């Protein structure tokens, strides 16, 4: 494997890669040509991500695996599913999208993850982790009778193996025994480093056709002697346990092979070419390096998980604090004032702003891995014993713990605070990562308080309010930076449900703002000479204030960075209906469709939430 010192800034010369338009073009390549292709693909990936920005480390780690899978399998006829999709850039390059790879994550460009709408080679759309095994067993079962020759492969990262959903699928696979191959891409981030001569030697034996033949005939020969057969099986299992960490997969009913070197093309080819012909579920454990082939990426795997454009320094030098930084500072300050505070995150320490907290309060910090359901019920258990847990989680990921939120927290009215990062339209990661639905899916839950701060200072203030409230409460805030408001460092709460009148006019029009589109709301209210209220809370609403304002008004306009259906504006409409008030409504929010990846600003425009779109619509309606 060729190792690069830095990301190339000029397009590299890649003659062999240029000859590959689709995977069928590389199926006749010799092992030496595949080695050359791997070096060219790695250099091209470094260059292209340096130009466009995006996920880098995961793709660098699966260069060799991607090449071998497309070399050995008849994709797209054979099913290949990538878990999460951070690692799928090389796959996209080899499947007819090389010339468009510089458009990845841009408006109207390639999707950041595999997408069924984009290519027939993307057999399953992904974004959230740990879905590949459930998907691949469904595909295998659907083809068991009709297309028995069709192959099915899932590549799952070791981080994704920490989720309960993956083990639910493994249990079902062990029961159904379909013909499929699961590849565990262990990139040295959690599981094992048990790679060496002995384990590689046994892995080659266990994955050989000769061994399988002996085992099969031996099983038949020993049928009259069941004790002897079980003894032989037990010896094999114990031998595997000596050199490999795969006993749990064997117990679940899968044939475990590994670990092997995931950067050794010949080893990968020899083992996978045999496994693809075996009957039943196969589990191959490969060891790779995240960021493999780039010195700095290998040294800093977290920092190089995703990068910005290599020549863009503007973002790195920005002095504006991100909302996650506001949360990070608040939780450290609150932990110093409240010794019962416990911070929980499902594998999002950096993204949620918990790095400093984890260092200062290691005994009060819990990263539960990619286990959103567990994180919520774990918090519930802490609350039962009088601790005050704060679950720092992306809005889109809390969807995965919804049952636990209702059943384990809200029904019992437990004191758990949810800090919902990446709420609303998030930008380049697209619809799988946008937090459009938290207001709608939380609003219908009894006992839940929902806070929608409008800027950095309000975020800190409402975090304090939610935390000191004795019961379940959520605070939603977006990705990125705010308007740079002055921050009051005190930890004083405000009254639950109390709105803030920002501009009061003797007007028949009331503008209600929910969240961080306040600047747009200010411009609208100024143009219309309307009263502007920063509502702060979706639940409970400031009903006393609304009743007072609505008695004199003819129309209210609500603005929110969340789903219109079931959102904050809908909550106000329900209040109007309940009180039998005579007032019209105009709701601005995210429409009833998935908005594809683009910058956050472009996505807001697509949703009709930029100032020009809002003004244009109001001009027609008013």
Q: Is the dihedral of CA 215, 220, 221, 224 positive or negative?
A: positive
The pLDDT confidence band at residue 515, using thresholds 50, 70 and 90, is: very high
Rg (CA), the chain: 27
Query: Does residue 513 surpass a pLDDT of 90?
Result: yes
Query: Does residue 2 surpass a pLDDT of 90?
Result: no
Query: Does residue 179 surpass a pLDDT of 50?
Result: yes
Average pLDDT, stretch 444-454?
A: 98
DSSP per-residue string spanning 579-615? HT---EEEEEEE-SSPPPSS-HHHHHHHTT-SHHHHH
Q: Of 221-225, 353-357, 539-543, give the lowest mean pLDDT range.
A: 221-225
Average pLDDT, stretch 7-16?
A: 91
Query: Does residue 359 surpass a pLDDT of 90?
Result: yes
Q: What is the pLDDT of residues 27-54, one digit of tens each?
A: 999 999 999 999 999 999 999 888 877 7
Residue 92: what pLDDT? 95
The pLDDT confidence band at residue 292, using thresholds 50, 70 and 90, is: confident
Residue 199: what pLDDT? 45
Selected catalytic residue, list 40, 329, 372, 520:
372
Selected catalytic residue, list 240, 388, 400, 476:
400
Average pLDDT, stretch 131-142?
A: 96
Which of 212-226, 293-307, 316-330 tops mean pLDDT? 316-330
Query: Does residue 394 surpass a pLDDT of 90?
Result: yes
Residue 226: what pLDDT? 55
| Alpha-helix residue ranges (DSSP H) falling in 472-610 | 518-528, 543-550, 568-579, 600-606
**Residue 446 or residue 162, greater confidence:** 446
144 part of the active site: no
Residue 190: what pLDDT? 42
Residue 318: what pLDDT? 59
Average pLDDT, stretch 508-526?
A: 97
| Alpha-helix residue ranges (DSSP H) falling in 80-225 | 89-92, 132-143, 164-176, 197-206, 209-221
Average pLDDT, stretch 299-326?
A: 67
Helix (H, G, I), strand (E, B) or coil at 261: strand
Name the segment(s) of the chain with CATH classification 3.40.50.920: 500-621
Q: Of 187-196, 372-381, 514-523, give the lowest mean pLDDT range.
A: 187-196
Residue 201: what pLDDT? 46
Q: Of 190-204, 421-435, 459-473, give the lowest mean pLDDT range.
A: 190-204
Q: What is the pLDDT of residues 98-117, one digit of tens each?
A: 999 999 989 999 998 999 99
Percent of the chain's residues with pLDDT above 90:
73
Query: Does residue 15 surpass a pLDDT of 60?
Result: yes
Place of tokens 């106000």: 572
Strand order in the sheet with 79-82: 79-82, 152-157, 180-186, 281-287, 255-261
400 part of the active site: yes
The pLDDT confidence band at residue 271, using thresholds 50, 70 and 90, is: very high
Q: What is the pLDDT of residues 465-511, one digit of tens each?
A: 999 999 999 999 999 999 999 999 999 999 999 999 999 999 999 99
| Integer Cα distance of 612 and 590 in angstroms | 16
Tell me which fold the domain 500-621 belongs to: Rossmann fold (3.40.50)
CB 461 within 8 A of CB 496: no
Cα 161 to its chain centre, rounded Å, is 14
Mean pLDDT of the residues in the chain: 89
Retrieve residue 59's tokens.
């793709």
Name the segment(s) of the chain with CATH classification 3.40.50.970: 15-307, 323-476
- What lies within 8 Å, CB to CB, of 519 at 6+ separation is 483
Query: To which CATH superfamily is domain 323-476 assigned?
Result: Thiamin diphosphate (ThDP)-binding fold, Pyr/PP domains (3.40.50.970)
Question: How many CB atoms neighbour CB 116 within 10 A?
Answer: 12
Residue 205: what pLDDT? 53
Selected catalytic residue, list 290, 443, 479, 539:
290
CB 195 within 8 A of CB 259: yes
Q: What is the pLDDT of residues 405-431, one digit of tens each?
A: 999 999 999 999 999 999 999 988 889
Which of 83-92, 252-261, 268-277 tops mean pLDDT? 268-277
Query: Does residue 218 surpass a pLDDT of 80?
Result: no
Q: What is the pLDDT of residues 219-267, one digit of tens each?
A: 444 445 555 545 555 555 555 555 456 678 888 899 999 889 999 999 9
The pLDDT confidence band at residue 186, using thresholds 50, 70 and 90, is: confident
CATH of 15-307, one of 3.40.50.970, 3.30.70.20, 3.40.50.300, 3.30.300.30: 3.40.50.970
543 part of the active site: no
């Amino acid at each position: 494997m060729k190792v690069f010192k830095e990301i190339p800034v000029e397009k590299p010369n890649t003659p062999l890669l240029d000859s590959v338009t689709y995977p069928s073009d590389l199926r006749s390549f010799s092992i030496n040509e595949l080695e050359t292709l791997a070096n060219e693909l790695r250099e091209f990936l470094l260059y292209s991500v340096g130009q466009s920005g995006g996920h880098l480390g995961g793709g660098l780690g699966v260069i060799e695996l991607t090449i071998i899978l497309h070399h050995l399998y008849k994709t797209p006829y054979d099913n290949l599913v990538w878990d999460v999709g951070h690692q799928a850039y090389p796959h996209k390059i080899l499947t007819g999208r090389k010339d468009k790879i510089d458009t990845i994550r841009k408006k109207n460009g390639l999707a950041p993850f595999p997408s069924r709408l984009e290519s027939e080679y993307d057999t399953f759309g992904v974004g959230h982790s740990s879905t590949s095994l459930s998907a691949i067993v469904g595909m295998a079962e659907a083809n068991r009778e009709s297309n028995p020759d069709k192959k099915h492969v899932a590549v799952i990262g070791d981080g994704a193996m920490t989720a309960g959903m993956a083990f639910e699928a493994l249990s079902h696979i062990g029961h159904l025994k379909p013909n499929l191959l699961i590849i565990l891409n262990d990139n040295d981030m959690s599981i094992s480093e048990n790679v060496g001569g002995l384990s590689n030697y046994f892995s080659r034996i266990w994955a050989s056709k000769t061994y399988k033949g002996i085992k099969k005939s031996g099983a038949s020969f020993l049928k009259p002697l069941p004790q002897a057969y079980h003894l032989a099986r037990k010896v094999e299992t114990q031998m595997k346990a000596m050199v490999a960490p795969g006993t749990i997969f064997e117990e679940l009913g899968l044939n475990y092979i590994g670990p092997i070197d995931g950067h050794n093309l010949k080893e990968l080819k020899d083992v996978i070419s045999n496994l693809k012909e075996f009957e039943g579920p196969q589990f191959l454990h490969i060891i790779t390096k995240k960021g493999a082939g780039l010195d700095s990426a290998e040294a800093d795997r977290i920092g190089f998980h995703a990068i910005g454009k290599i020549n863009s320094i503007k973002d790195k030098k920005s002095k504006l604090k991100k909302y996650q930084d506001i949360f990070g500072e608040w939780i450290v300050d609150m932990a110093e004032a409240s010794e019962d505070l416990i911070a929980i995150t499902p594998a999002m320490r950096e993204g949620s702003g918990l790095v400093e907290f984890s260092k200062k309060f290691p005994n009060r910090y819990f990263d539960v891995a990619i286990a959103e359901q567990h994180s919520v019920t774990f918090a519930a258990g802490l609350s039962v014993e009088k601790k005050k847990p704060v679950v720092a989680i992306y809005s889109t990921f809390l969807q995965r713990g919804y049952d636990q939120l209702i059943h384990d927290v809200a029904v019992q009215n437990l004191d758990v605070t949810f800090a919902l990062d990446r709420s609303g339209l998030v930008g380049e990661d697209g619809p799988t990562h946008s937090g459009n639905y938290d207001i709608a899916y939380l609003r219908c839950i009894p006992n839940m308080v929902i806070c929608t701060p409008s800027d950095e200072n309000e975020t800190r203030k409402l975090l304090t309010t939610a935390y000191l409230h004795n019961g379940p409460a959520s605070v939603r805030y977006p990705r990125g930076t705010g308007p740079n408001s002055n921050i009051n460092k005190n930890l004083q709460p405000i009254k639950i449900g109390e709105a803030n009148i920002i501009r009061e006019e003797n007007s028949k029009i009331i503008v209600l703002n929910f969240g961080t589109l306040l600047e747009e709301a200010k411009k609208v209210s100024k143009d219309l000479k309307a009263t502007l209220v920063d509502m702060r809370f979706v639940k409970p609403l400031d009903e006393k204030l609304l009743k007072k304002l609505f008695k004199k008004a003819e129309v209210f306009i609500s603005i929110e960075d969340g789903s219109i259906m079931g959102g904050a504006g809908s909550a106000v409409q329900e209040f109007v209906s309940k009180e039998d008030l005579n007032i019209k409504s105009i709701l601005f929010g995210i429409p009833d469709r998935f908005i594809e990846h683009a910058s956050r600003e472009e996505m807001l425009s697509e949703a009709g939430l930029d100032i020009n779109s809002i003004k244009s619509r109001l001009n027609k309606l008013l």
